[in-house]
Structure 1
Amino acid sequence: MQKQVTIIGSGIVGAVTAYYLSQNPDLNVTIYDEGIGQATKNSAGIISPWLSKRRNQRWYQLAKAGAALYPEIVADTQMGYSVYQQAGTIVTRADPDDLQALYDLALKRRQAAPQMGTIEKLTAEEVQERIPLLTAPQPGVFVSGGARVDGDKFAHNLLKYAEKRNLVRHKGKVRLGDQGQLLTVNGQQSYDTLILAVGAWLKPLLLPMKIVADVRPQKGQLIEMQLPETWADDVPVLMPEGERDFIPFTRSKLVVGATHENDQGYDLQVSSLVEDDLFASGLKLDANLTKDQITQVKVGTRAYTRDFAPFFGPIPDNPHILVASGLGSSGLTTGPMIGKLLADYVQTGAHDWDQYQRPIETYLAPAD
């Protein structure tokens, strides 16, 4: 008899989990999604965690594993170059000593992360050669294994792949009862395992069960620009010092962003002030940009915890309900590995996650 696995949320975690579970013929997989404010659909898409200065080693191990998983998933599902492009990343530093320290860090971390590929220290002129759009380049460190991903297309393709196997998709809001009942517009639905991959919406979803999740929403905005010139497919992503990230996509599309706004709650309104700020940041890198090249402003809601670390797994005293949240601005990097680990747990009942996160009780507490 097939087991019923139900996933709430079709962002990066939900989509990857569904992708892996759909390959098991003994499971019947259903996914529900409202699709509003999803961080995956509105993200910059940089996959390059290795030069982060974050001290949380559990986060780094998770991010490193997630980055390494992308080429495998992309190859297995035959996704095109417009979805995932391993064109490298450049991280810039103006101070020569800071640049050398960054280069030394890259060489050290490559010993345990061969997927980083080639490491090069570049002059400002060499950076401009790699990214011809720049009019004010700085010296930087190039990591050939860095990549950019269109999160929306990536998740969509995984769900289409899963639908050809054993995934059923539904749109619309869901809520939980006080005992974890799954309540939909079509009434209560049964499940053997329920996976809540709803990002910043986990806290209100769990409240009926008298569980408080340590999750807060963070608003993120970015701009997409269509430029008149075209460039080669292998132009790297730029992570500049002191400015927003600068991501050339598919020959003539440029993304600048994203913001980290902690006081806007679940607001999804575009801010003209933020749009101006993002454009000004891009203009410092490419003085030839014009505002009429902006084609859209994307807005999403990330989930953050007090210690800025993600968490995932079964909720205490209820192994049939799994959660994942707190991915923050690195969700597209850590999300794939979280999805794979959740899928493995559903199928085996076993896990060894201590290297990736603190105990889940750190982030889930009984309501007063």
Structure 2
Amino acid sequence: MQKQVTIIGSGIVGAVTAYYLSADPDLNVTIYDEGIGQATKNSAGIISPWLSKRRNQRWYQLAKAGAALYPEIVADTQMGYSVYQQAGTIVTREDPADLEALYQLALQRRADAPQMGTIEKLTAAEVADRIPLLTRAQPGVFVSGGARVDGDKFAHNLLKYAEKRNLVRHKGKVTLNEHGQLMTPHGQQNYDTLILAVGAWLKPLLLPMRMVAKVRPQKGQLIEFQLPETWADDVPVLMPEGERDFIPFTRSKLVVGATHENDQGYDLQVSPLVEEDLFASGQKLDANLTMDQISQVKVGTRAYTPDFSPFFGPIPDNPHILVASGLGSSGLTTGPMIGKLLADYVQTGHHDWNQYQLPVETYLEEAD
């Protein structure tokens, strides 16, 4: 008899989990998506965790593993270049000593992360040559294994792929009652395993069960430009010092962002002031940008924990309900590995996640 696995949330974690579980003929997999404020659909899409200065080694191991999963998933599902592009990333530093330190860090980390590929220290002129859009460039470190991903397209393609195997999709808001029963637009739905991959919305979803998730929402906005010129497919992503990330996508789409706004709650309104700030940041790098080239402004809500670490796994005293949250601005990097680990747990009942996170209980507590 098939076991019923129900996933709430179709962002990066939900989509990757569904992708892996849909290959199991012993499971009946269903996913629900409210589709509001999803960070995956509104993210910059940079996959390049190796030069981060974060001291959290658990986060780094998770991010490194997530980045390594992308080429495997992309190849298996035959996603096109418009979804995932391993064109490299450039991280800039103005001070020569800082640049050398960054270069040495890259060489050191490549020892246990061969997916980083080629490491090069570039002059400002060489950076400008790699990214022709730039009218102002700084020296930087190039990592050939860095990539950009269209999170919206990636999750959508994974779900379409899973639907061809063993996935049923539903739209609409769901809730839990005090007993952990799942209430949907179609009434109460039974499950053997429930996976809550709803990011910043985990806290209100768990409250009826008298459980508090230690997550807070963070608003993120970015702008997309549609430019008249085109460029080659291998133009790298730029992570500039002192400015917003600068992401040239296929041919003529440029993304600048994203912001990290801690005091806006679940607000999803576009802020004209933030749009102007993002534009000004982009124009400092490419002086030819104009406001009328902005094709859209995207707004999403990330989930953060007090220690900025993601968490995932079964909730205390209930192995049938799994959660995943707190991915922050690196969700597209850590999310694939979290989805794979959750799928492995559903199928085997076993896990060893100490290298990736603190115990889930660190981020969940009983309501007063």
The 5 A counterparts of 1:119-268 are 119-268=119-268
Which runs of 5 or more residues in structure 1 are unaligned?
none
Number of residue equivalences: 368
- CA drift of 1:49 comes to 0.1
Give the Cα separation in 2 of the matches to 1:79 and 1:289: 31
Q: TM-score, normalised by structure 2?
A: 1.00
Query: Secondary structure of the residue that 1:306 maps to in structure 2?
Result: coil
Q: TM-score, normalised by structure 1?
A: 1.00
Query: Secondary structure of the residue that 1:324 maps to in structure 2?
Result: strand
Residue 167 of structure 1 aligns with an amino acid whose one-letter code is: L
Residue 55 of structure 2 corresponds to 55
- CA drift of 1:328 comes to 0.2
- CA drift of 1:341 comes to 0.1
Residue 190 of structure 1 aligns with an amino acid whose one-letter code is: N
Give the Cα separation in 2 of the matches to 1:131 and 1:166: 42
Give the Cα separation in 1 of the matches to 2:315 and 2:259: 31
Give the Cα separation in 2 of the matches to 1:185 and 1:232: 46
Query: Secondary structure of the residue that 2:224 maps to in structure 1?
Result: strand
The 5 A counterparts of 1:24-39 are 24-39=24-39
- CA drift of 1:54 comes to 0.3
Give the Cα separation in 2 of the matches to 1:359 and 1:196: 17
Residue 231 of structure 1 aligns with an amino acid whose one-letter code is: W
What's the % identity of the aligned pairs?
Answer: 89
Give the Cα separation in 2 of the matches to 1:16 and 1:364: 24
Give the Cα separation in 1 of the matches to 2:309 and 2:238: 24
Query: Secondary structure of the residue that 1:170 maps to in structure 2?
Result: strand
List 4+ stretches of structure 1 deviating above 3 A: none
Residue 361 of structure 1 corresponds to 361
The 5 A counterparts of 1:282-361 are 282-361=282-361
- CA drift of 1:71 comes to 0.1
- CA drift of 1:185 comes to 1.5
Residue 311 of structure 1 aligns with an amino acid whose one-letter code is: F
Give the Cα separation in 2 of the matches to 1:113 and 1:51: 11
Residue 279 of structure 2 corresponds to 279
Residue 156 of structure 1 aligns with an amino acid whose one-letter code is: H
- CA drift of 1:190 comes to 0.2
Residue 69 of structure 1 corresponds to 69
Residue 238 of structure 2 aligns with an amino acid whose one-letter code is: L
Residue 164 of structure 2 aligns with an amino acid whose one-letter code is: K
RMSD: 0.3
- CA drift of 1:16 comes to 0.1
Give the Cα separation in 2 of the matches to 1:106 and 1:139: 15
